[in-house]
Homo-oligomer: A and B are copies of this chain.
Amino acid sequence: MQFSPPTASGQSVSTTRRVYEDLRDLILTGKMLPGAKLKVDTLKEMLDTGASPIREALSLLTSDQLVERIDQRGFRVAEISATQFREILKLRCALEDMALRESIQNANKDWEETLVLAHHRMTRTARSQVSEFERQHKAFHMALLSACHSPILQKFCDRLYDLNIRYRHLAGRSEAYQARDVSKEHADILGAAMDRDAELASVCLIQHYRRTGQFLVERLEEHQLSASTA
């Protein structure tokens, strides 16, 4: 396997960072199932590196709630549950609502431009280019919150976004999801934000999340997605 090519900027990145990003990607996209054992030796081989960067990366992922560590018993991919998914959804609605309103309150030209650009890039990326689209999608959602002047809150939202996307990947693509006019939902959020209509923007955003959440809860409750039960 070959991961993370050297960054375009040419700067050599630390192995730890590379490993962290690769592992996070594997977990978020569901390539590593919940509950799966993360053996240091296996990962060493897979990512072609020593034990130290692996363990450091796993420690970071632990704080992201993507990996669970049990003293003297190693690391495993964090478990999932319908209960946790509902918790994430609820928190996302509460925190992003807060951040979005503040963002709109502090709105300025720079923010508008960043936002329009992020939206444009997302719409220009084909849905078939899954990982690239996901990147742009996240960038758009984070751009919405970027003017809220609260780095910690943004960080919390970023975390929750990642936790959520993991569930989305694990649940698999649903036809119902495709049927929805997600593009219009995004456009509506953008429109409301540009109009500085905090109320409307918040409603649109939360609707957007709730709709997606709807399907996922249903799918999660029927399927049992875990490496420990497999």
From B62, B149, B151, B153, A60 is in contact (CB under 8 Å) with: B62
Which residues of chain A from 56 to 106 have any CB-CB distance to chain B below 8 Å in the complex?
A: 56, 59-60, 62-65, 71-72, 84, 87-88, 90-91, 94, 98
Q: What would be 9 A-B contacts, judged by CB atoms less than 8 Å apart?
A: A14-B71, A16-B59, A52-B52, A60-B60, A60-B62, A87-B149, A87-B152, A91-B152, A91-B153
Secondary structure of the A contact surface, majority rule? helix
Measured CB to CB, the nearest residue on chain B to A12 is B72
Q: Are B71 and A150 in contact (CB under 8 A)?
A: no
Measured CB to CB, the nearest residue on chain B to A55 is B56
Interface size on A, residues (CB 8 A): 31
Q: How far apart are A99's CB and chain B's nearest CB, in angstroms?
A: 10
**A156 at the A/B interface (Cβ < 8 Å)?**
yes
Task: With A14-B72, A156-B156 as known contacts, state yes or no: A90 contacts B56, CB within 8 Å.
Answer: no
In the bound complex, how far is the Cα of B59 from the Cα of A17, in angstroms? 11
Q: Copy number of this protein in the oligomer?
A: 2
15 new A-B pairs (CB below 8 Å) besides A65-B152, A94-B98, A152-B160?
A: A17-B71, A52-B55, A55-B56, A56-B56, A56-B59, A59-B59, A60-B60, A60-B62, A63-B63, A65-B155, A84-B151, A87-B150, A87-B151, A88-B152, A152-B163
Q: Of residues A56, A62, A155, which shows the largest number of chain B Cβ atoms within 10 Å of its Cβ?
A: A56
Which residues of chain A from 148 to 176 have any CB-CB distance to chain B below 8 Å in the complex?
A: 149-153, 155-156, 160, 163
In the bound complex, how far is the Cα of B64 from the Cα of A88, in angstroms? 19
**A179 at the A/B interface (Cβ < 8 Å)?**
no
Q: Which chain B positions have C-beta within 8 A of A149?
A: 87
In the bound complex, how far is the Cα of B202 from the Cα of A130, in angstroms? 44
Q: How far apart are A183's CB and chain B's nearest CB, in angstroms?
A: 30
